[in-house]
Amino acid sequence: MTDPILAVRDLHVQIATRRGTVRAVDGVSLEVASGEALGLVGESGSGKSMTLRAILGVLPAEARVTSGEILLDGVNLVPLGNTDLNRIRGPKMSMIFQEPMSALNPVMRVGRQIAEGPQVHLGYNKARAAQRALELMRRVGIPDPERRFRAYPHEFSGGMRQRVMIAIALSCDPEIILCDEPTTALDVTIQDQILRLLAQLCRESGVSLIFVTHDLPVVAQVCQRVAVMYGGELVERGEVREVLLDPRHPYTLGLVRSAPDFEYVRESLVPIPGSPPSLISPPSGCRFHPRCEFAEEDCRVSATPLRPLPGGRSTACLHYERCQEAAAADRVRR
Amino acid sequence: MSLSGEQFIVPGGSALADLEVLPADRAAQPRQARRWYRQPALMAGIVIMGLIIATALSAPLLASYNPIALNLNATLLGPSSHHLLGTDQLGRDIFARLLYGLRLDLAVGCLAVLFPFTLGTILGSLAGYFGGWVDIVIMRLVDIVVAFPFYVLVIALVFVLGPGVRSIIIAITLVGWVSYARIIRGEILVAKRQDYVVAAQSGGLSSLRIMGRHLLPNVITQAIIYAMSDIVQDILAIVTLGYFGLGVPPPTPDLGSMINDGQNFLTTHWQLTTIPGLAVVVVGLGLSLIGDGLADLIRPGQS
């Protein structure tokens, strides 16, 4: 792999609540190469969104990064203040949100919202920024941009709004775009259009993506590599095909089993038993052990750091061979 | 069954036409239904205030007398063709004084809303957006001001600063900003958690820009609605200060001082007090109607 654009090392994010400190992100390490799309999957509350918001430095007031490094082009972002971060957010990295309606300012014309970044970061004057906005709107496939420039977000359909969000994210030519479930709020046909658009932009302009989702087929469509998060930790990481087809962690296996399979419509999906762990007092040892069918005594006590496996992938599971056997058995059954 | 073909086509055709309306046009429709001239309260208020402002502005054309010129040969006259509303105890034309008084009081009233509106909006935004010690300092200031009744504090401040237009505006600004600060702070506290604010932050925009360009346009309507009712209160405050002799120093005409001057002659010449009093009532009514109508217009579904 070439030098990573973004490297997250041992990131910890804690949220102070009345009931205790939530360890929302607990020692996550990621690397994203130039032009690469990394999927970050996991169920709700596994710390995916918090990881993204920590990278951008837009954590909610109660949350903070307690340790770890976020290196963008070798510069650690964690100690930087807002003034310094504002030179990076926009021109170097940007974000696409889940709900395009609420992530667009309802009382500002969309053209102006797209043009704002270039005006602030690239020093464009109003006319040139507007020109840039029109060009971006054309690039993300908004028809009739001259007329749409002056429209408000409520006049757009869901898919068009998400295209506007993508145009805003692209407006200052960032090196990496963080996507927080960008297609969850859209119906499947629009979802497909948006995913194709993102994959195409990724190919054409060499921008890197971190793609947070809980939808495995979406990861398979857009990403080259995937990292699986559970209870604030990474449990498995590797090439998308390898991880999804041959999981080496029981949680990933559970995710694959609980996703509807288009080709083999099974009689019933297999849900993961139990519920996500409390991140105020997480289970000892492997955080997945209370829900794991392969759990043994050592899973309850030993620490489970991400360990490299042959083939450039890693897993946090102590008994990944069993998971491998179960996955193989699944394949045979099909 | 002798229905003509047209009867089928017309309803069907119009239904089809409705379906083809673009999303943009459909969104615009409810707005059109609430056009401002369909609000009777707003309309009445605008007519009343329009007339008053027009008369006040054209005071030099309408009044044939100098409002401060004494004429001790013509004191306490009743209404006549020479003096439309009569004269006061110093022989000054009441109609002229009324028009010039209205002019002054309305102008001071507008300024006395503009300054607290601006100050309160800025401080409220800072408190709501930044939170922490900024919020604590500003909100404790608010608590201190709120602890005093409005008039007690305004009168005390004017007393310290000395009578005059400038002190009135300063006093009302120092007391009135707290309401705007509270309204805007509350709105910003809610709005700053919205995705579009986080999106603006992740776009690398400065806090100042986010507050001014993204948050304020979304929250300012509440403050504008409040300002419409506040202006009534402020004009009443100016009249009250004039009545107490803390307003504009004589002989400059002002509704409050006119009411006060006429008080001594209430039993014999009631119009001296009643006419400026009625003028205050009509101004208050007009502004209240505008405020209510505007609130209905801006906050649909809550009326």
pLDDT at A133: 94
Q: What is the pLDDT of residues A78-102, one digit of tens each?
A: 999 888 999 999 899 999 998 888 8
Alpha-carbon distance B42 to A208, whole Å? Answer: 55
Using the beta-carbon criterion (under 8 Å), do A61 and B204 form an inter-chain contact? no
Q: What is the pLDDT of residues A296-308, one digit of tens each?
A: 888 888 878 888 8
Residues of B in CB contact (< 8 Å) with A are 23-24, 27, 131, 193-196, 198-207, 209, 213-214, 217-218
Residues A235-260 have a mean pLDDT of: 87
Closest CA to B41 of B299, B288, B301, B298: B288
Residue type, B5: G
Residues A109-135 have a mean pLDDT of: 93
The token pair that represents B16 in the structure block: 């089809």
Q: Phi-psi bin for A260: left (phi > 0), alpha (psi -120 to 50), beta? A: beta
Please give the full DSSP string across B217-260, using - where no structure is assigned: HHHHHHHHHHHHHHHHHHHHHHHHHHHTT-SSPTTS--HHHHHH
Helix (H) or strand (E) holding A11: strand A4-17
Residues of B in contact with A86 (CB under 8 A): 204-206
Look up residue A234 and give its DSSP letter.
Answer: E
Number of C-alpha atoms within 13 angstroms, CB side, residue A110?
30
Using the beta-carbon criterion (under 8 Å), do A108 and B131 form an inter-chain contact? no
Edge-to-edge, what's the strand order for the sheet holding A63-72?
A: A20-33, A4-17, A63-72, A75-76
pLDDT at A261: 63
Alpha-carbon distance B298 to B276, whole Å? Answer: 33
Closest CA to B213 of A82, A135, A109: A109
3-state helix, strand, coil in chain B (%, to 5): 75, 0, 25
Using the beta-carbon criterion (under 8 Å), do B198 and A58 form an inter-chain contact? yes
| Domain range B37-69+81-298, CATH class | mainly alpha
Closest CA to A169 of A127, A222, A207: A207
Q: Counting one residue from A and one from B, how many pairs have CB atoms under 8 Å apart?
A: 74
Angle at CA of residue B269, ends B264 and B270, nearest 5°:
85
CB of A226 closer than 8 Å to CB of A38? yes
The alpha-carbon gap from B107 to the nearest alpha carbon of chain A, in Å, equals 31
Q: What is the pLDDT of residues A188-234, one digit of tens each?
A: 888 888 899 888 888 888 899 999 988 888 888 889 999 999 988 99
Q: What is the pLDDT of residues A267-315, one digit of tens each?
A: 557 778 888 888 888 888 888 888 888 888 888 888 788 888 887 889 9
Residue type, B209: R
CB of A133 closer than 8 Å to CB of A171? yes
Confidence check: pLDDT of A122 > 70: yes
The alpha-carbon gap from A12 to the nearest alpha carbon of chain B, in Å, equals 20
pLDDT per residue as tens, chain B (303 positions):
444 444 444 443 444 444 444 444 444 444 545 566 677 888 899 999 999 999 888 888 887 788 887 888 877 787 887 888 888 888 888 888 999 989 988 999 999 999 999 999 999 999 999 989 999 999 999 999 999 999 999 999 998 998 888 999 999 999 999 999 999 999 999 998 888 999 999 898 999 999 999 999 889 988 988 898 898 889 889 888 888 888 888 788 888 888 888 888 888 888 888 989 999 999 999 988 988 888 887 765 443
The token pair that represents B110 in the structure block: 């507008």
CB of A46 closer than 8 Å to CB of A230? yes
Domain boundaries, chain B: 37-69+81-298
Domain boundaries, chain A: 4-92+174-333, 101-173
Tokens 């028809």 sit at which residue?
A143
pLDDT at B4: 44
> Where does the pLDDT of residue A266 fall: very low under 50, low under 70, confident under 90, or very high at 90 and above?
low
CB of B288 closer than 8 Å to CB of B229? yes
pLDDT at A332: 75
Confidence check: pLDDT of A322 > 80: yes
Among A97, A156, A157, beta carbon nearest to B199: A97
pLDDT at A264: 57
CB of A93 closer than 8 Å to CB of A175? yes
Architecture, CATH, for domain A4-92+174-333 = 3-Layer(aba) Sandwich (3.40)
Among B201, B209, B217, beta carbon nearest to A58: B201
pLDDT at A263: 57
User: Which residues contact residue B143 at a Cβ distance below 8 angstroms, ignoring those fewer than 6 apart?
Assistant: none
Among A108, A120, A157, beta carbon nearest to B23: A157
